[in-house]
Every structure is written in structure tokens, then in C-alpha cells.
Amino acid sequence: MATENLHFHEHRVARELKEKRNQHKSRVLWFTGLSGSGKSTVANATEKILHDMRLQTYILDGDNVRIGLNKDLGFSPADRTENIRRITEVAKLFADAGSIVLTAFISPYREDRDKAREIISTDTSLKYLLVQIYQFVNREIQKAFTKKQEQEKSKDSLVLTLLMKHL
């Protein structure tokens, strides 16, 4: 694709102004792990906590993105890399809009995660936090996140404690 006629346009309303209006900084929280490990469950629980704190959030979930934006991609190594590249660019756009972006994707290649961090962190004031989920496969634990509000509170406070250290 020829890019010689493309030019980046600065917006009149900078991300910093959006952050000031939202009363919080933009962030990208990158949840990764194996299929069924609980990435989406933890991302959703985290988003609920942040939303309840009146913070502007958005989740980019692997299945949802593959149903739409990335429906033309398969699961070959090249397609997986392109999937992560596109997600990274979309996450950066949402962060530029002043949101805390939570991504929940299988991102198996370290070089793709490193590239995502590099793209998102080109502006040193924008933070990227990688959250690797190794084991969250016990479906009974996963159900406990959504079963009752009272049961969620203790788990939510653990997620919140870990998250607030990085926001």
C-alpha cells in the first residue's frame, strides 16, 4: 500500500484534554492466556470495577473482534500476528479517545506482544500493562464471578487491588 500521500492529522482535542475531562489517564490493559483461561472473565470483572468507579472503559474481546473487524483472518501464524497488530492499533485509538482499554486475546507470540507494547507506548505518558492469565480454567471459579453480586465483591476487591497498583 502506498503511503506517500497519507499524513497524520493532529486532533484539536488532545488525549490529555479527554483524560482531564474523564478525570483519569488512558491505559491499555492487555489480558492474555490460553483458550478458556479466563481472559474475558477477568477483563469483564475488571471493567465492572472500573465502570463502578465512573471510569471510561472499553473491552476489545478476541471473539468479538474476530466476528467483525478480523473476520477475514484465520489462525495461521501470519494471521495471528495480523490479528494482534490490528487490535493494537484499535486499542491505541480508544486510548487516544481517553478510555481505559481492556483487551482479552490469545497473543501467543512474545514478539507480537512486544510490538503491541512498542506501538501503544510511543507516547511515553500512555501506559501498557500486560496481564498474563495462566490458570483460570476451573469453570466453577469462573461461574462464581457472575453468580451473585455478594460473591463478586471479594474477587472484585482482589482484582481492584492488583489493578490500582498499575493505573
Tell me: pLDDT of 91 over 90.
yes
pLDDT > 90: percent of the chain: 32
The one-character DSSP state at 99 is: P
Q: Which amino acid is at 86?
A: R
Q: Is residue 78 part of a domain?
A: yes
pLDDT averaged over every residue in the chain: 79
Q: Is residue 4 part of a domain?
A: no
Give the structural domain span for 80: 21-164
Q: Is residue 93 part of a domain?
A: yes
Element (H, E) at 39: helix 39-52
Q: What is the CATH number of the domain that holds 132?
A: 3.40.50.300
Which one is catalytic: 40, 76, 107, 125?
Answer: 107
Q: Is residue 159 part of a domain?
A: yes
State the pLDDT at residue 141: 47
Mean pLDDT, residues 25-41 taken together: 85
| Alpha-carbon separation of residue 149 from 51, 143, 156, 158 (angstroms) | 15, 12, 10, 15
Q: Encode pLDDT of 35-82 as tens digits.
A: 887 888 888 988 998 999 899 999 999 999 999 999 999 999 999 999
Give the burial class of 144: count Cβ atoms within 10 A of its Cβ; 0-12 exposed, 13-18 middle, 19 or more buried.
middle
Q: Is residue 116 part of a domain?
A: yes
What's the pLDDT band for 108 if we cut at 50, 70, 90?
confident
Q: Is residue 77 part of a domain?
A: yes
* Whole-number CA gyration radius for the chain: 17
**pTM recorded for the entire structure:** 0.75
Total domains in the chain come to 1
Output the nine-digit C-alpha cell for 63: 471473539
Mean pLDDT, residues 78-98 taken together: 94
Averaging pLDDT over each range in 69-78, 91-100, 130-139, 142-151, which range is the top one? 69-78
Q: Is residue 63 part of a domain?
A: yes
Q: Which residues touch 30 (CB under 8 Å, ≥6 apart)? A: 91, 103, 105, 107, 113, 116, 117, 128, 129, 130, 131
> Does the annotation mark 107 as catalytic?
yes
